[in-house]
Amino acid sequence: MATLAEPKPPWLRRRIPSSGRNASVVAAIKDGGLHTVCEEAHCPNQLECFSRGTATFLLLGPSCTRHCTFCAVDKS
């Protein structure tokens, strides 16, 4: 029988910084037709990085050759 998870304590939660950079980074990625590890791997911390104006790019397209078992990026 499965047990329900208890709610996380308040000190474990963090607010995502709200800045205009989020939208500008996302727009630059979309406008440039770029692929980021952040998006392809479904990273839960995307907005935290984007709010700082950073992103990690996949240079060879939407797939990766490394075959890491923990990663959600498509393998080629």
Tell me, yes or no, whether 6 lies in a domain. Answer: no
Total structural domains in the chain? 1
Tell me, yes or no, whether 11 lies in a domain. Answer: no
Tens of pLDDT, residues 2-47: 677 888 888 887 776 667 788 898 899 999 999 888 888 888 888 8
In the predicted structure, residue 52 carries a pLDDT above the cut 80: yes
Tell me, yes or no, whether 67 lies in a domain. Answer: yes
Tell me, yes or no, whether 61 lies in a domain. Answer: yes
Tell me, yes or no, whether 63 lies in a domain. Answer: yes
Residues contacting residue 65 through CB under 8 Å, at least 6 positions apart: 75, 76
Domain containing 42 equals 20-31+38-75
Buried-state track 11-46, b at ≥16 Cβ within 10 A, e below 16:
eeeeeeeeeebbeebbeebeeeeebbbbbbbebeeb
Rounded to an integer, the average pLDDT of 63-73 is: 80
The helix/strand/coil state of 9 is coil
What pLDDT score was predicted for residue 39? 87
What pLDDT score was predicted for residue 73? 81
Tell me, yes or no, whether 12 lies in a domain. Answer: no
**Model confidence at 62, in pLDDT bands (50, 70, 90)?**
confident
Whole-angstrom distance, CA of residue 9 vs CA of residue 1: 25
